[in-house]
Amino acid sequence: MLKVAVLGAGYMGSAVTFPLAHNGIATSLWGTWLDDELIDGALAGCHPKLRKPLPDGVKLFRTGELKEAVRGADAVFIAVTSDGFEPVFRKLLDATDGKPCLLAMTKGFVQHGGMVQPISTVAEELFRKRFRGAPFLWASVGGPVKAVELAEGIPTATIFGVKSPRLKPLVVNFATGYYRIFFTDDVRGVELCSALKNVYAIATGISDGMYEGCGAYYHNFKALLFNQSLREIAAVVQAAGGREDTVFDLPGAGDLYVTSASGRNGMFGRRIGRGEVPSRAYGAMLREGDIAEGYHALRLGKTFIEQLGGDLLEKLHLFNTLYSIIFQGNDCRREMEQFVLRYGSGD
Amino acid sequence: MLKVAVLGAGYMGSAVTFPLAHNGIATSLWGTWLDDELIDGALAGCHPKLRKPLPDGVKLFRTGELKEAVRGADAVFIAVTSDGFEPVFRKLLDATDGKPCLLAMTKGFVQHGGMVQPISTVAEELFRKRFRGAPFLWASVGGPVKAVELAEGIPTATIFGVKSPRLKPLVVNFATGYYRIFFTDDVRGVELCSALKNVYAIATGISDGMYEGCGAYYHNFKALLFNQSLREIAAVVQAAGGREDTVFDLPGAGDLYVTSASGRNGMFGRRIGRGEVPSRAYGAMLREGDIAEGYHALRLGKTFIEQLGGDLLEKLHLFNTLYSIIFQGNDCRREMEQFVLRYGSGD
């Protein structure tokens, strides 16, 4: 019998227990030091984020019980926030023998060793220091997956970026009729798409905030932003060693489509588009337990792109527009208008 | 002073008069034999589709006045339905000296010479027969443009597929602060994207019809369909001599994004997803003056793809699913479930 542990009892970690349990996999769900309320709720019969009971048989573990949660696991999903990734990953390395496959649902960049790095890079470095010579069996998980919908059994496609083909025979066991699994070997492409789509979903959110309630539709504007987002994500992914075709598939186009349609990053953008000061909007959401990951990915992503060198950053008109609005205090409407004018008509 | 004539007084033809008039271009709008009511409404001060007055100075012409409408025009936009394309284009050839640039907003396939062909192919053949040796100055116009939004001045990006660079200096005169114009030389890619996105918007519409009102969100499913649509459009465009990068830019991803968000093809799909018989849904919409262009593009597109040869058609799982539902009377829910199961988990 397969055994899988899931780290992080928020939306995504809890949601992935549904297809796992559906397949009869022995499933553990471990809550971080921030997840006590979520574990309490789940134990009481209703997960507070998903607003439903977790599947029968899913074993719940509190923060002090990591070792028990991962004991004998064939694979470990890591589904914590990007902020929490490094501390949780270090604990995980201490709690295992290095044998389980590592499946990262956490998206984003981390600051590590004086640099901003993608999560898989940091994970590999930490893993290799701890378990010299052992195979690093890693997947970056991406694609258009809203957790609540996955938990409801809505047809969903996900894509696992894996370097080692050894993961595939394991991962296919997680698929169900509603959880469809694809593979790619472009790990870098998957994880950068997952991180950057949170940034660009802020842009479509801003258009919602600017135009909703005005009595006019603005699909053209949203599509313009969506399209420019794909162009810019493709430029970053390629510069970082990923592939363009990854961006134009489930990890990029698919996930950006979902993330633009609903979610916390779009909500963050909407508040900005309505005129809220970005840092206050971020703080207000945080106090309600909603982290707009794109806020951090924008800040760290800028450094990551600068590290890549060349003139890449200056070509990313929409990225720079977002940075200017969110971290430099510039007026949202004026910046968005300037963006539109810099765009098209001869390019 | 530039002069531009627009053929077809429906949504798109009427909407493009806004940026033209904004630029001080002498603009004529000609209504086909089906457009009398639209011209009447516009003359009375409110265009019945756009629900607002046309810009000051736009000259309106009825079906018998085509020669007057196009006299001295530097460019002619053709914005009729795909059904109406060939008869209108033949009339246009009789009414001009072959000198105006031809800018096609009409999307889709036409039956011509025992084959199903893209509009630009048929247009070029008819043009060359009529004006031997004259330059065929053609653009296929695409990208995410909802007519009502363009008429409202919502920021909009469009892309002109042009073979001859001679068109660019003319076309850039149509741009405004809200109507941003891009160019590509992949005419075939633009026109196939424009036609096929109407087909695939039916699929996302079907997901709306299946799930809306169920109390659950289904963004994951819509994104899965959106993503598969892009994959399939890319396969057809490449087989037909267009380029993949066109599909992943404004003509494909951008336009499919808009078309999936609202419009007549989505509405057609929604009715099917709710359980209506497709041919009846199409007829009911037609009686209200709403043509779901994707219905015809699906039927003609199938023949077009068959003409391309090879095993392309059988790889287009979503296209075949739509054909099966719409033209072969198969059950919508069962076919969509089968599509999801054929999809992913190892591919």
Q: Which run of H or of E encompasses A247?
A: helix A244-247
Rounded to the nearest angstrom, the minimum Cα separation between B58 and chain A is: 23
Q: Is the pLDDT of residue A309 over 80?
A: yes
Quote the strand ranges of B62-123, DSSP E: 75-78, 101-104, 109-112, 115-118
Tokens representing residue B118 in the block: 């893209």
Summary mean pLDDT of chain B: 95
Percent of chain A with pLDDT over 90: 92
- Compute the distance between CA of residue B341 and CA of residue B337 in angstroms, rounded to an integer: 6
Q: Is the pLDDT of residue B111 over 90?
A: yes
pLDDT band at B219 (very low <50, low <70, confident <90, very high): very high
Amino acid in position A46: C
For residue B148, which residues of chain A lie inside 8 Å, CB to CB? Answer: 217
CB contact set of B42 (below 8 Å; sequence gap of 6+)? B9, B14, B29, B48, B53, B54, B60
Rounded to the nearest angstrom, the minimum Cα separation between B90 and chain A is: 31
Q: Is B214 helix (H, G, I), strand (E, B) or coil?
A: coil
Tokens representing residue A46 in the block: 């209703």
Q: Is B113 helix (H, G, I), strand (E, B) or coil?
A: coil
- Compute the distance between CA of residue B130 and CA of residue B113 in angstroms, rounded to an integer: 17
Q: Is the pLDDT of residue A342 over 90?
A: no
Is A149 close to B221, i.e. CB distance below 8 A? yes
At B344 the pLDDT is 66
Q: Is the pLDDT of residue B245 over 50?
A: yes
Which residue in the set A182, A258, A346 is minimally distant from B172, CB to CB? Answer: A346
> Which residue among A49, A146, A197, A222 is the active-site one?
A197
Rounded to the nearest angstrom, the minimum Cα separation between A225 and chain B is: 9
At B289 the pLDDT is 84
Is B220 close to A145, i.e. CB distance below 8 A? yes
For residue B22, which residues of chain A lie inside 8 Å, CB to CB? Answer: none
Q: Is the pLDDT of residue A123 over 50?
A: yes
At A283 the pLDDT is 97
Q: Is the pLDDT of residue A344 over 80?
A: no
Taking only the tens place, the pLDDT of each residue in B281-316 is: 999 999 998 889 999 999 999 999 999 999 999 999
Neighbours of B312 (CB within 10 A): 17
Q: Is B210 helix (H, G, I), strand (E, B) or coil?
A: helix
Q: Is B276 helix (H, G, I), strand (E, B) or coil?
A: coil
Decide: B101 and B127 in contact? Cβ < 8 Å: no
List residues of B with catalytic annotation: 197
- Compute the distance between CA of residue B38 and CA of residue A325 in angstroms, rounded to an integer: 43
State the count of interchain CB pairs (< 8 A) between A and B.
183
Which residues are A95's β-sheet partners? Answer: none
Angle (CA) A24-A27-A33 rounded to 5° is 165
Which residue in the set A227, A248, A255 is minimally distant from B157, CB to CB? Answer: A227
Considering only CA atoms, give the Rg of chain B.
20
To the nearest 10 degrees (0 to 180), the angle between helices A219-239 and A293-308 is: 40
Is B345 close to A180, i.e. CB distance below 8 A? yes
Tokens representing residue A274 in the block: 């309505």
Is A226 close to B157, i.e. CB distance below 8 A? no
Q: Which residue of A has its CA nearest to B178?
A: A340
Which residue in the set B152, B180, B211 is minimally distant from A216, CB to CB? Answer: B152
- Compute the distance between CA of residue B84 and CA of residue B90 in angstroms, rounded to an integer: 10
Decide: A303 and A240 in contact? Cβ < 8 Å: no
pLDDT band at B60 (very low <50, low <70, confident <90, very high): very high
For residue B219, which residues of chain A lie inside 8 Å, CB to CB? Answer: 144, 146, 149, 257-258, 261-262
At A343 the pLDDT is 78
For residue B150, which residues of chain A lie inside 8 Å, CB to CB? Answer: 220
Q: Which run of H or of E encompasses A19?
A: helix A11-22
Is A197 catalytic? The answer is: yes
Q: B84-91 long-range contacts, Cβ below 8 Å, gap at least 24?
A: B84/B8, B84/B32, B84/B34, B85/B110, B85/B119, B85/B122, B86/B110, B86/B112, B86/B122, B86/B126, B88/B7, B88/B8, B88/B32, B89/B122, B89/B123, B89/B126, B90/B126, B91/B66
For residue B144, which residues of chain A lie inside 8 Å, CB to CB? Answer: 219-220, 223-224, 227
Taking only the tens place, the pLDDT of each residue in B73-107 is: 999 999 999 999 999 999 999 999 999 999 999 98
- Compute the distance between CA of residue B160 and CA of residue A345 in angstroms, rounded to an integer: 10
Hunting for tokens 């025992």 — which residue is that? B114
- Rounded to a whole number, what is the distance in angstroms from the first to the last CA of chain B? 57
Taking only the tens place, the pLDDT of each residue in A158-176 is: 999 999 999 999 999 999 9
At A147 the pLDDT is 96
Decide: A78 and A14 in contact? Cβ < 8 Å: no
The DSSP bridge pattern shows strands B156-162 and B138-142 to be antiparallel
CB contact set of B158 (below 8 Å; sequence gap of 6+)? B141, B142, B143, B145, B179, B180, B181, B182, B250
Is B343 close to A148, i.e. CB distance below 8 A? no
Which residues are B75's β-sheet partners? Answer: B4, B101
- Compute the distance between CA of residue B166 and CA of residue B137 in angstroms, rounded to an integer: 8
Average pLDDT over residues B275-279: 97
Q: Is the pLDDT of residue A346 over 50?
A: no
Is A224 close to B157, i.e. CB distance below 8 A? yes
Task: Give CA separation, A134 vs A94, A99, A101, B273, in Å.
Answer: 15, 8, 12, 51
Neighbours of B337 (CB within 10 A): 16
Percent of chain B with pLDDT over 90: 93
At B346 the pLDDT is 43
Q: Is the pLDDT of residue A192 over 70?
A: yes
The DSSP bridge pattern shows strands B26-30 and B179-184 to be unpaired
Q: Which run of H or of E encompasses B296?
A: helix B293-308
Decide: B193 and B237 in contact? Cβ < 8 Å: yes
Burial level of B133, CB count in 10 A (0-12/13-18/19+)? exposed
Neighbours of A164 (CB within 10 A): 14
Task: Give CA separation, A317 vs A28, A200, A242, A336, B244, in Å.
Answer: 44, 12, 21, 10, 23
pTM equals 0.95
Angle (CA) B193-B200-A150 rounded to 5° is 125
Task: Give CA separation, B256 vs A40, A226, B248, in Å.
Answer: 43, 11, 10
Hunting for tokens 């009511």 — which residue is that? B37
CB contact set of B179 (below 8 Å; sequence gap of 6+)? B18, B19, B22, B150, B156, B158
